[in-house]
Structure 1
Amino acid sequence: MDLVAEELQFLSITDILKESISIPKQSPKTFYLVTLTLIFPLSFAILAHSLFTHPILSQLESDPTAASSDWSKLLVFQFFYLIFLFAFSLLSTAAVVFTVASLYTSKPVSFSSSIAAIPSVFKRLFITFLWVSLSMVAYNIVFLGFLVLLIVALDTQNVFLFLFSLVIVFLMFLVVHVYTSALWHLASVVSVLEPLYGFAAMKKSYELLKGKTGMGFVLVFGYLAICGVINMLFGSIVVHGGDDYGVLTRIMVGGVLVGLLVMVNLVGLLVQSVFYYVCKSYHHQGIDKSALYDHLGGYLGEYVPLKSSIQMENLDA
């Protein structure tokens, strides 16, 4: 697709997906290694997590008075799982966003250069993640409050309170949760490509989403829905399907689902990178090579100022 930056604002969702899928072709070895070392472990952990917790949870459900060692195992496993998930999620984001930015500035990229750039942006990503986490905590508190109201309405048979709580719960999940996720994804790209992080990155993400909120909503909702379906299939067939499916079938299905999630996560990271450029173009905000050079640790090579915005026709690795 030969498009200059000024034309990015006119890309449709289909165009964004096509552009995102085509990006790895510009540097296949780099994306292969990033996928193998960062995105695959992340995707595998997301799905395999339930394989390890299911036996422990089954034991606790069957015996509520189980030894404290079972609870300790569960809590320790959950703690290390969340740390692993958090770390590889940030590492994958940093590596993919940096690689895409390098390609968009027509600079040669490699796996080593992408990995080398991570330390310079990890702190900003981490702080932004903390701010998003605080937002999600506030959201979850309000969400749980309305869930309690919903339960109370069921017990008291209060039709008005039930319908009101149901609508609020639905809107909070469908609108607030998805919108917050869109802000988070865009803020992550901002944290990598600009000298902004934390609340400032969230604010910049909010400004960039203006005018493209509907597109961002559809992209994030589609990503979450596909991940949800993959997780549901993995849980029903691989984790809980022991009585209905043979071991070989479960292994094969599990392998296919892990592969699918790897591709979905890779495309998701590519989409959020391209969507960032689309939003910048929509608001007529140029992106020059100097900004990337200054804020990605100087790994883009020899410094030569770029007078115009990023040109997508020069995606040569």
Structure 2
Amino acid sequence: MDREQEDMQFLGFFGIYREASKIILSWRKVFAQITLTLILPLSFIFLAHMEVSDLLFSKIIHNEMAVDETRAGTPKYNKLSDILKHELVTFYLFKAAYFTFLLILSLLSTSAVVYTVACIYTSREVTFDKVMSVVPKVWKRLMLTFVCTFIFFLAYNIVAIFIFILLVLSLEPSKFIVAMYVLAILYFVGFIYMTMVWHLASVMTVLEDTCGIPAMIKSKALIKGKTGVSTIIFLKLNISFWLIQFAFKTLVVRGESLGMVNRVSYGIICLLLLFLLILFGLVIQTVIYLVCKSYHHENIDKSALSDHLDVYLGDYVPLKTKDVQLEQFDV
């Protein structure tokens, strides 16, 4: 990354995309290794989960209907009930295992990509072995930030549901429809904004000595001034993710009529698109962090950052706040 930090504040929508693409292409070997080790399994687990969940859930629905149509107390009813209980336990255990592996791989992928981009930014030698040695020392901090973010998202959804119930109880049908459109728009805007704050806080967690709620507060302040550009970028990334998910559900999970060969082909295409999108998104969120730092004239001391990124001589040491905001540079 040969661009000076003070110049990064002028990067717009296309400039951030070009910078992220240039980073990936210039260091494609190490990013390819990270992708094959972490991001590809993450993508595969996400897509495979939809296929397996649909299969398990279909069996549960079928057996629930069979139980409802069978007289209680009969041997057939008891057998179907036992099968249904077993399938429900299997379904929930599968969900728990899925979310566990998904979370771990997500945190490891974020750690690896953010750390790699930071090494490139400081012109430090970066190798796959070096990246993988620091990743386990960072993901626990990312876990704390994720837990705090999860709590905020949970509270956000609870409030949205509470407002929805109030609207149902207090408004007439004609006014309710209008209110629902307004609520849906506000909810979507808030969701995208919280997603931006979360991703920026994740980068801060890797590079600075802050995590959890303090990282989210700093992220919220840092994103000001670049909210418009960041919103467009994260919105496009989220829409792309949803389109891939929709395509996989339509063409693979529920595409029996297309034939097995076509379903496998579409599945491979969706897998390729998904892991490329995840890699590109992780690099972009790191670039946005540097752009926001530059916009607020918070000059990152590259030598201090480089020292803190060195993991060969000891444990991972996060970048101190004073190093990140060492000086205000003039534009």
Whether TM-score is above 0.5 comes out as yes
Contact 1:194–1:295 (Cα < 8 Å) also in 2: no
Contact 2:33–2:128 (Cα < 8 Å) also in 1: yes
- Higher mean C-alpha deviation, range 189-198 or range 47-56: 47-56
Shift in Å at residue 159 of structure 1? 2.0
Decide whether aligned partners of structure 1 residues 193 and 13 sit closer, same or farther in structure 2, where only a CA change above 3 A counts: same
User: Which of 172, 181, 190 is residue 204 of structure 2 equivalent to?
Assistant: 190
Matched, 1:115 2:132: yes
Per-residue CA distance 1:42-94 (angstroms, 9 max, x = gap):
11111111111111111222232452011101100000000011000000000
Amino acid in structure 2 at the alignment position of 1:49: H
CA distance in 2, matches of 1:149, 1:251: 46
Contiguous gaps of at least 5 residues in structure 1? 310-317
Contact 1:97–1:189 (Cα < 8 Å) also in 2: yes
CA distance in 2, matches of 1:139, 1:208: 21
TM-score by length of 2: 0.85
User: Which of 100, 103, 115 is residue 98 of structure 1 equivalent to?
Assistant: 115
- Higher mean C-alpha deviation, range 213-222 or range 175-184: 213-222
Matched, 1:250 2:263: yes
Give the total of aligned pairs.
301
Amino acid in structure 1 at the alignment position of 2:189: V
Contact 1:149–1:162 (Cα < 8 Å) also in 2: no
Contact 2:203–2:285 (Cα < 8 Å) also in 1: yes
Report the aligned-residue RMSD.
Answer: 2.3
Contact 1:27–1:109 (Cα < 8 Å) also in 2: no
- What does 1:158-173 align with in structure 2 at a 5 Å threshold? 158-172=173-187
Amino acid in structure 2 at the alignment position of 1:46: F
**Relative contact order: is structure 1 or structure 2 higher (C-alpha 8 Å, sep ≥ 6)?**
1
Query: Which entry has the higher C-alpha Rg, 1 or 2?
Result: 2
Contact 1:8–1:281 (Cα < 8 Å) also in 2: yes
- What does 1:1-317 align with in structure 2 at a 5 Å threshold? 3-64=3-64, 65=67, 67-149=84-166, 157-172=172-187, 174-242=188-256, 244-293=257-306, 295-296=308-309, 298-299=311-312
Amino acid in structure 1 at the alignment position of 2:141: R
Shift in Å at residue 292 of structure 1? 2.7
Contact 1:127–1:197 (Cα < 8 Å) also in 2: yes
Shift in Å at residue 152 of structure 1? 5.3
Per-residue CA distance 1:156-190 (angstroms, 9 max, x = gap):
75322332233113211x21100000000000000
Contiguous gaps of at least 5 residues in structure 2? 68-80, 315-322
- Higher mean C-alpha deviation, range 203-212 or range 116-125: 116-125
CA distance in 2, matches of 1:2, 1:289: 12
CA distance in 1, matches of 2:12, 2:208: 25
Shift in Å at residue 22 of structure 1? 1.2
Identity, in percent, stands at 39
